[in-house]
Amino acid sequence: MAQDLVIGIDVGGQTSKCGVVDARGTVLAQTVIRTDTYDTVEPYIAELAEALNRIVAEAKAEGRIRGIGVGAPNGNFYTGTIESAPNLKWGHNRVEFAKLLSEQMNGIPVSLTNDANAAAVGEMTYGAARGMKNFIMITLGTGVGSGIVINGEVVYGHDGFAGELGHTAAVRHNGRACGCGKTGCLEAYCSATGVARTAREWLEMTDEPSVLRSLDKISSKDVYDAATDGDKLALKIFEFTGRILGEKFADFIEFSAPEAIVLFGGLARAKEFLSEPIQKAMDANVLPLWRGKVKLVYSQLKESDAAILGASALAWEL
């Protein structure tokens, strides 16, 4: 009998990436469709199903798809719905995503969660967290997401929305405004946008010389490039970012005593600048019993495939 396969779908605000994946994490066929050209979910799902059937045919996987895993903003594992997702044109209200897609795909079961939880399952199935039963995945991208694994299972909580560590308080009083409406959130400091914001603030508040002064707009990539060239201000920005991450990681460790914290996402590429300050702040802020014991590791998934792999991993648990 031919080997079982799964489909992974990463639903982003602009595009949706889909792939047919085998048990080893090889993407056998993949494609991308637009997410943002639909105002309602039904035509989007119809187009998505068509795309899936295309890659299933391409991978010669007809009849072998065991399940479909979906990572989507505000995806709820318990209900299979996407709720109030501001970045999805058709996702402002409650969308019965898993049900609608399964119906279009001849009843193949569909499992759905948010992107960070999907990344955690992906890392546990194919990546840096293989064999780990207790770890915390932190995604450092435009925002800061998290997927918490305890006893080998993603924590969804009472309502399906657990794991919003990007919105725990990094700065308790007078912190930066965050996109969520609160202030001082970890995400406001340690996301890619947070790093760019730190750069803009520090350039304005100090006279420190920096190659960043010559730029019109500053992105976290610019700060990274400057740090690579030895720019002192850029290096300090990563030190500051790493310190805040490490301080919060200490709190997270005291919550669930993970074996490791796994970092993923665009900003995690700056590991040569982040690892030391993170580790230092983690050790300085955690109870002695965990000092030096919790690993800090980086995603091992090929970045171009990671989103598909993470989502696909969900489907193995169906």
Give the binding site for a copy of itself (CB under 8 A): 84, 133-134, 148, 150-151, 153, 155-165, 167-169, 171-172, 180-182, 247, 250-252, 254-259, 285, 287-290, 293
Shortest reach from residue 228's CB to a copy of itself, in Å: 30
Cα 51 from chain centroid (whole Å): 24
Nearer to a copy of itself, 49 or 257 (CB): 257
User: What whole-number distance in Å separates Cα of residue 307 and Cα of residue 245?
Assistant: 23
Shortest reach from residue 76's CB to a copy of itself, in Å: 11
Shortest reach from residue 172's CB to a copy of itself, in Å: 7
Nearer to a copy of itself, 155 or 211 (CB): 155
Shortest reach from residue 156's CB to a copy of itself, in Å: 7
User: What whole-number distance in Å separates Cα of residue 72 and Cα of residue 316?
Assistant: 17
- Residue carrying the six token digits 């090929």: 302
Q: How many C-beta atoms lie closer than 10 Å to residue 283's C-beta?
A: 17
- By CB atoms closer than 10 A (0-12, 13-18, 19+), residue 107 is exposed
Shortest reach from residue 214's CB to a copy of itself, in Å: 34
Number of H helices, E strands in the chain: 9, 12
Shortest reach from residue 209's CB to a copy of itself, in Å: 28
Nearer to a copy of itself, 28 or 162 (CB): 162
Nearer to a copy of itself, 17 or 243 (CB): 243
**284 CB-side CA count, 13 A:** 13
Nearer to a copy of itself, 39 or 159 (CB): 159
Nearer to a copy of itself, 133 or 232 (CB): 133
Coil, helix or strand at residue 105: coil
12 contacts 318 by C-beta, under 8 angstroms? no
Shortest reach from residue 93's CB to a copy of itself, in Å: 14
Q: Which pairs count as long-range contacts for 98-103, CB under 8 Å and 24+ apart, including other chains?
A: 98/70, 100/41, 100/42, 100/45, 101/45, 101/48, 101/49, 101/68, 101/70, 102/68
- Judged by phi (left if over 0) then psi (alpha if -120 to 50, else beta), residue 230 lies in left
181 residue type, one letter? G
- Residue carrying the six token digits 């965050």: 178
Nearer to a copy of itself, 8 or 242 (CB): 242
Cα 52 from chain centroid (whole Å): 23
- Residue carrying the six token digits 């340690």: 190
Shortest reach from residue 269's CB to a copy of itself, in Å: 26
Nearer to a copy of itself, 165 or 314 (CB): 165
Nearer to a copy of itself, 103 or 251 (CB): 251
Shortest reach from residue 117's CB to a copy of itself, in Å: 12
